Amino acid sequence: CGRVFSATFLVAAHKKRRSECSLDEKMDLHNIVMLCCVFGCDALYEHGYVTVGSNGELHVSDACGPVETSYAKNVMLNRISVAEAESQYFAWHFARHCRTE
């Protein structure tokens, strides 16, 4: 979202579920993890309500209620920069973890 938080309010979020990562993927810390705030971004991504498309666009699930949708559209960025090395992890999340209901 571009906001700056104290480290207290940031968590290391995994772009692909850690339980489904290979050992090599788990060790790819530069590309597999991202910092997310505990105020909403981490939970929305972790539970599949938002995901990132191949060219960095943010997708908000139709399963979101009006409050979550508003938060995602008004607070989170509509697009993020996705490096080639991390795109496979976002693609996994988009294909396997995006909530549809």
- Does pLDDT of 101 surpass 70? no
CB 55 within 8 A of CB 78: no
Q: For the full predicted model, state whether its pTM sits above 0.75.
A: yes
Alpha carbon distance 35, 38 (integer Å)? 10
CB 77 within 8 A of CB 58: yes
Phi, psi (degrees; rounded to nearest 5) at 13: -95, 145
Bigger pLDDT: 21 vs 76: 21
- Does pLDDT of 98 surpass 90? no
Q: Which residues contact 88 (CB under 8 A, 6 or more apart)?
A: 16
Bigger pLDDT: 99 vs 86: 86
Read off the pLDDT band of 93 (50, 70, 90). very high
List, for residues 46-65, the tens digit of each pLDDT value. Answer: 999 999 987 888 889 999 99
Alpha carbon distance 33, 90 (integer Å)? 11
Phi, psi (degrees; rounded to nearest 5) at 48: 80, 15
